[in-house]
Amino acid sequence: MAQAQTPPAAPAPAAPAATRQAQPMAADPALEARVLKVAEELRCLVCQNETIAASNADLAVDLRKQIRVKLGEGQSERQILDFMVERYGDFVLYRPRLSATTVLLWAGPFALLLAAGGVLAINIRKRRQSLAEQALSPAQAQRVRELLEEAAPAKVNRP
């Protein structure tokens, strides 16, 4: 009888995509510091809750390279930010500028808070007025007095 042969072992799985090689850096540390400063001002369009300086998404890596090239060409940080806004819109800024288009985003939460406070104040005022209008009838007032008088002798004097 022939023995069954065991299949060869499967190759080890490739490293996960999250483990990447070190990010390329500019040869000049001052240039790299400027790259990171600009990258801290830009939102990763893939992650959306990280700056492109902190993100490892492919788009963030590409944008950091683009910043590095533009700074190497002599463009200012403001010119690069303006270019990115022109290309990707205000959303690319991690801290959006205050402008006519973003004023609602900045003022909206405060306006909602004021509106909620106004609604709460109106409701409290209406409740107080309705309670004041619901005065006791003479029969109800007499009943309350009787109950209080009955409860008075039951009090125990404690030293």
96 Cβ contact partners less than 8 Å away, ≥ 6 residues apart: 90, 102, 105
Amino acid at 149: E
| SS3 call for 111 | helix
pLDDT tens digits, residue range 74-127? 999 999 999 999 998 888 888 877 777 778 777 888 999 999 999 999 999 988
Count of alpha carbons within 13 angstroms of residue 119, beta-carbon side: 6
pTM score of the predicted model: 0.51
SS3 call for 106: helix
In three-state secondary structure terms, 95 is coil
Is CATH 3.40.30.10 the right assignment for the domain spanning 29-92?
no
Cα end-to-end span (Å), the chain: 105
Domain ranges in the chain are 29-92, 103-151
Per-residue model confidence as pLDDT tens digits over 48-67:
789 999 999 999 999 999 99
pLDDT digit string, tens, across residues 10-49: 555 544 444 444 455 657 888 889 999 999 999 998 987 8
Mean pLDDT of the chain: 81
Cβ atoms of 46 and 60 within 8 Å: the answer is yes
